[in-house]
Amino acid sequence: MTKKEKPDLTKKVHEVPHKPGVYLMRDRFNRVIYVGKARDLRKRVGSYFMPSKMAVADLKTRAMLDAVWDFETHTVQSEAESILLEGKLIKEYRPRYNVSFRDDKRFLLVKVDQTEEWPRFRLARFKKEDNARYFGPYAHAGALRQTLNFMRKKFGVLTFGRGSPTERELKSSTYQVPMKLSEITPEIYRERVAQACEFLEGHSREMMAELEKQMRAQAEKLDFEKAAELRNMLDDLRRTTRPTRRFTRGSLPTTIDPEADVRALADALQLPKIPRVMECFDISNISTTHVVASMVCFRDGVPDKNCYRRYRIRTVEGQDDFASMAEVVRRRYSRILLEARDVNPDVAEFSQENPAEALERQSTINSQPSTVNLVRLPDLIIVDGGKGQLSSACKELQRLGLHDLPIIGLAKEDEEIYRPGRALPLQLPDDSGALRLLQRIRDEAHRFANAYHQLLMKKRVGESILDDCPGVSQHRKNLLLRKFGSVKRLRRASVEEIAATDGIGTKLAADVHRFLQTH
């Protein structure tokens, strides 16, 4: 009997998605010998099968890699879920090469016993059969502790500690806000506890909106340190209060199948055809200084980064998501129609034919792939937001004559899908491939918009140094930046090069040069 040859797994690695999730290593008898988590499954799993990995690995890792004959991956929606799922699988399979998660010490719960006279919110490792309420588990311990601190200040509830309030807790208004516990009754205090419980359950939309408003206000004042502090607090609160799936036996998520997800989306939305090309818009308006938008494109269920676009909002004053969404939709699809007219003059004859139909007809006739891509309208448009954003986008499409172009709005809070002409939103199951595809597109648009916004804010912070330079007005600042492109390049310029700028004399050029060299 010949010995079974060990399979080459390097080709299988290329099928693993760049997504967060968990991976299971199996031996020749198909037993799970190791479970791990990763922010990027492709990178993590691929690293195990690089020759350099074996060369530098310790004895335990070498033994594990020698025993691996196969692996499988399972994607999840967030890094937090990957931690929770990793722990669940380790407890279930008890892999020989895992030493973590042998107990429940990786995850924290929040416990509140409402039978106490003054209930406290405390951390726990185990869920016991008692009269207490438990929230969690939570994968991010640091975020959870910050959230409890926020709850203590916002709701005036007791956190950590044991038993009845101490004399300091009863009398100190600096420790317990908004009022001293000695000035209220246990019944009033219980109302606070109930509000804090609702907050932990995820009923926090208004509170999050208020914190976002404060963050934007600080950014407007150029107090970026305070804005960053509020941003970090928001991130901690979202991590803690965002609903997280509980993984039970039989609920193991499957790997991504883009084509199947696209077909499932077509069925869920009852689209006239498979949405091979989808475009998603997102607005980023942390401050009114730079309101930006992104458009990402997915082709056959995967990102087509060559078609991504980013926009600076031009016509909208202040923070108006509806008007901003209208502007970018108008700019995107009027541009496509103009490009189509330049390439195919027949498309301009819209009197007898809908623009979308004309583009479809011309792309079918024209056999050049580059031309088809240039004037291609998407099969589905997705806007990040609810009824307001969707309505604004629909009005612009109607003005352009694109009445029948499929479009939906995806609201963040409850993942509700809004459709034109439908009063009630559509909600898909959490494990639906169609919903996961929409979430991937929306999250990518959000990431792309935020990256552009951060780039502009970083540039503005760099440029703001010129505001302190004597003799440099806003007009002269614009002239200098228009010529040199950035403060970094201006700093490297000589006095003569600066003086060659229109409106900048030799004396001012010398002052600017000296200022930048000393600041």
Tens digit of each residue's pLDDT (9 = 90 or more) over 441-487 = 998 888 888 777 676 666 655 555 666 677 777 777 777 777 777 77
Q: Rounded to an integer, what distance in angstroms lies between the CA atom of residue 514 and that of residue 519? A: 9
Span 260-276, average pLDDT: 92
Span 252-259, average pLDDT: 67
Q: Is the pLDDT of residue 209 over 80?
A: no
Span 310-332, average pLDDT: 87
Highest mean pLDDT among 18-32, 175-189, 196-210, 441-455: 18-32
| Helix, strand or coil, per DSSP, at residue 511 | helix
**Tokens linked to 3:** 């010995």
Contacts of residue 398, defined as CB under 8 A and 6 or more positions apart, other chains included, come to none
pLDDT at 102: 47
Tens digit of each residue's pLDDT (9 = 90 or more) over 59-116 = 777 888 888 888 988 888 777 678 778 877 887 778 888 764 444 445 778 888 877 8
Contacts of residue 382, defined as CB under 8 A and 6 or more positions apart, other chains included, come to 278, 279, 280, 281, 407, 408, 409, 410, 438, 441, 442, 445
Q: Rounded to an integer, what distance in angstroms lies between the CA atom of residue 475 and that of residue 491? A: 18
Tens digit of each residue's pLDDT (9 = 90 or more) over 294-313 = 899 999 999 998 999 988 88
User: Which regions of 6-69 does DSSP assign to beta strands (E)?
Assistant: 21-26, 32-38
CATH for 270-459 is 3.30.420.340
Contact of 361 with 323, CB cutoff 8 Å: no
Q: Rounded to an integer, what distance in angstroms lies between the CA atom of residue 34 and that of residue 36? A: 7
Tens digit of each residue's pLDDT (9 = 90 or more) over 140-173 = 777 778 888 888 877 778 887 776 777 776 666 5
Question: Between 198 and 249, where is the model more confident?
Answer: 198
Average pLDDT score over the chain: 78
Q: Rounded to an integer, what distance in angstroms lies between the CA atom of residue 286 and that of residue 452? A: 12
Please give the biggest Cα pair distance in the chain: 91
Fold classification of 10-93 is GIY-YIG endonuclease (3.40.1440)
Q: Is the pLDDT of residue 437 over 80?
A: yes
Domain boundaries, the chain: 10-93, 108-241, 270-459, 469-518
DSSP 148-181: HHHHHHHH--EESS-SSPPHHHHH-TTTS-SS-G
Contact of 110 with 146, CB cutoff 8 Å: no
pLDDT at 359: 64
Lowest mean pLDDT among 125-129, 260-264, 274-278, 490-494: 125-129
The one-character DSSP state at 89 is H
Q: Rounded to an integer, what distance in angstroms lies between the CA atom of residue 96 and that of residue 108? A: 25
pLDDT at 413: 67
Q: Is the pLDDT of residue 1 over 50?
A: no
Q: How far is CA 68 from CA 20, 61, 474, in A?
A: 21, 11, 64
pLDDT at 397: 94
Q: Is the pLDDT of residue 404 over 50?
A: yes
Q: Rounded to an integer, what distance in angstroms lies between the CA atom of residue 366 and that of residue 359? A: 10
Q: Rounded to an integer, what distance in angstroms lies between the CA atom of residue 474 and that of residue 466? A: 9
Element (H, E) at 205: helix 205-220
Tell me the β-bridge partners of 34. Answer: 25
Assign 249 a pLDDT band (cuts: 50, 70, 90): low
pLDDT at 351: 45
pLDDT at 477: 74
pLDDT at 420: 92
Span 495-518, average pLDDT: 83
Fold classification of 469-518 is DNA polymerase; domain 1 (1.10.150)
> What letter represents residue 309's amino acid?
R
pLDDT at 361: 61
Tell me the β-bridge partners of 72. Answer: 24
Q: pTM to 2 decimals? A: 0.48
Q: How far is CA 330 from the centre of its chain?
A: 25
- Pick from 489, 475, 265: which is nearest to 378 by CA? 265
